[in-house]
Amino acid sequence: MMEDKPEPPPARPDILAPAGDMRSALAALAAGADAVYLGLKHFSARMQAANFSTGELARLADLAHAEGRRIYVAMNSLIKPSEPDHALRLVRRLALDVAPDALIIQDLSMLDLARQAGFQGELHLSTLANATHPQALRAALDLGVQRVILPRELSLEETRRMATLCPQGLDLEIFVHGALCHCVSGRCWWSSYLGGKSGLRGRCVQPCRRVYRQKGKEGRFFSCGDLSLDVRTSFLPALPRLRAWKIEGRKKGPHYVYYVTTAYRLLRDSPEDREAVREALEILKMSLGRQSSRAFFPSAGSPVPPPAQKRLRTGSGLLVGLISGTAAGGRELRPAIPLLPRDLLRIGHEDEPWHCTLPLSGRVPEGEALPLSLPRARLPQPGTPVFLIDRQSPELLAVLAEWEEDLAARAPLRASRQEDVPGLRAVPPVAARLRRGRPLDVLLLSSLPHGRAGRAGIRPGAVQGLWLSPKAVREVSRTLFSRISWWLPPVIWPEEEDLWADLIQRILRGGARHVVCNAPWQIAFFPKNRDLALTAGPFCNSANVFALGVLARAGFSLAIVSPELGEGDLLSLPAGSPLPLGIVLSGFWPVGIARHSAPPLKAGEAFASPRGEEFWMRRYGPNTWIYPAWPLDLAARRPALEQAGYTVFISMQDHPPARLTQAPRPGEFNWRAGML
């Protein structure tokens, strides 16, 4: 692998702060953030936040640019087949009226749509796009990306490897603080599989935060503490091409944004000043987050515990106490810290029947009883945790008032005219003779049948698919290499890259021609202009013709579409596609892929949600795959799919636990309900 000449590290990385509403954005600027990232009312991966209209954003951008700060707009949701025209028009309005400094994107279609719309700023690749290894950085740069946001699952050594091998012309960004998901970014379909509310669309209902049970064990085993690199950030300034420290929290209020931004500015600017570091750590204690985790970053002299642990209180906010009962049958709270007027409390967790928020009208001293006036039907159990989730201190309100006054003085938006917004330039569809070829079935095996694929042979009438692995390369007869569909994993970590590069070279030398990449960036492993049939797999999350157009330009000859789409979207997609299309028709599709463990749950044994939904886990390499107890099954829809133009049908074969109770529910994913 060729390495670029090392560059000197930047003088200091930017502090990039989140904003879900205007007051949070002003809090970020007031705290000294170098850049603020935020979303619009559409196409944001945090749709539960208030987000911004283009008119609000124009004023804010005017203020930020006058202060020498930058505005990044997150248009980082998956885009459905009917939405590219809307996305293009929205980007065009942004380009004309707001001129943000960058767009944060997930869907490959935005690489084309942003430039068609005349957007001149940078394109930053979201963690949801899953660029997890150094070769992925080169592929992203080749497709027009200027910055890649690194996964939160990387260790310090892996982050260093990514930075060292990052090509010139590309910057990197790393999360330093905020919420952690259990599953790998861009590799979670849990919320979508349970009811169409897709995390890739910013509508996740957070099933990983629920209580689960397995053989008498009960807990929020998948619910992670918040990431807080705090003093570990002292390792980061030495990394080349690392341009920004990112704070997660677009659903948080201005208190969180102001104080977390302030803390990391202190840690960046004065890492050797013990007093400044001590002050930063004290500020972080009051940032109103969950108990903290350092994810995979090192801890001084000891291994890092997994971010999801039974002992952690993982409700959103700062734990201030537990509810107790009174002699009269009521409920009260004796807070462990003083509470202030206008503090906002959260009682319990969102999946509990008594969950609610409670604003305070007066001060409550530490340890003093606060009677809770709640309907008797929703009285929480004694021991229920109470979290402080927002605070409006007089000091912060005074700071915000000054910035609000400056914002109000900005000129109102002069909206672009409708004729200034161009129409889409269509992607040429695939020729009908290619789209309507003879249907092909692929039987994708999770492991070698009977221990050796060479003995089992290939099932008549279907192409055998195998997940690429050292065992498969070692035990499969080379005479079969050219007849097998070889599948790369959905996630490749930096320390694995050499292994996968070697395995790929070995199967290519053995005559392999059919390879499925399960991230678009994996195409960087393959030589250009070689007689290969490269397929963009279903884990690429392809969902519209413009994304498929980018895949075709990158060198793919076929694509397997995202299984999240509903009936109308799936049936409309082939007509305009520039590539022949396939679909996962049946089998155990994972609800998520995680690098974290979930102690004390055991892999290979069923576990259940409070609603009785059963799941199971299996470990493949460094990752844990989480499956529902009911397989995907669109077999009855095959005639309609063939008529629409799909030519490849995938069956994912796995081996669920023997004692798994398969749920009596259809496995049609979002076919009927559609993806929200």
User: Cis peptide leading into 600, omega within 30 of 0?
Assistant: yes
- Enumerate residue ranges in the chain where pLDDT < 50: 1-3, 300-302, 433, 449-458
Q: What pLDDT, on a 0 to 100 scale, did the predictor assign at position 453?
A: 40
User: Given this model, what pLDDT does residue 422 score?
Assistant: 63
Burial (Cβ within 10 Å: 0-12, 13-18, ≥19) of residue 501: middle
Spatial CB neighbours of 18, under 8 Å, sequence gap ≥ 6 = 24, 28, 36, 37, 38, 178, 247, 248, 249, 250, 252, 257
pLDDT of residue 301: 47
Cα distances (angstroms) measured from residue 275 to each of 195, 282, 286, 586: 50, 11, 17, 59
The CA distance from 544 to 480, in Å, is 34
Around Cβ 82, how many Cβ atoms within 10 Å? Answer: 11
**Gap between the Cα atoms of 320 and 366, Å rounded:** 10
Domains and CATH numbers, the chain: 14-180+225-288+396-408 (3.20.20.70), 187-224+590-630 (no CATH), 318-390 (2.40.30), 432-587+633-653 (3.20.20.70)
Residue with tokens 């025209």: 85
Q: What integer pLDDT is reported at residue 290 of this predicted model?
A: 80
Q: Which residues contact 529 (CB under 8 A, 6 or more apart)?
A: none
pLDDT of residue 619: 92
The backbone torsions φ and ψ at residue 113, rounded to the nearest 5 degrees and listed phi first, read: -65, -40
C-alpha 390/C-alpha 392 separation (Å) is 7
Radius of gyration of the chain (CA): 26
Q: What percent of the chain is helix, strand and coil (3-state, nearest 5)? A: 30, 25, 45
User: CB of 526 within 8 A of CB of 163?
Assistant: no
**Which residue from 519, 516, 598, 562 is spatially nearest to 670, judged by alpha carbons?**
562
Burial tier of 474 (Cβ tally within 10 Å: 0-12, 13-18, 19+): exposed
Judge contact between 103 and 110, C-beta under 8 A. yes
What are 116-170's pLDDT values in tens digits? 999 999 999 999 999 999 999 999 999 999 999 999 999 999 999 999 999 999 9
Q: How far apart are CA 611 and CA 622, in angstroms?
A: 30
Q: What is the dihedral of CA 116, 119, 123, 128, to 10 degrees?
A: -70
Name residue 627's beta-bridge partners. Answer: 616
CA 74 to chain centre: 13
Between strands 122-125 and 102-105, the pairing is parallel
Q: Cα–Cα distance between 176 and 312 in angstroms, integer?
A: 20
List, in order, residues 6 or more apart from 244 with CB less than 8 Å away: 13, 14, 15, 16, 34, 35, 147, 171, 173, 174
pLDDT for the residue 11:
64
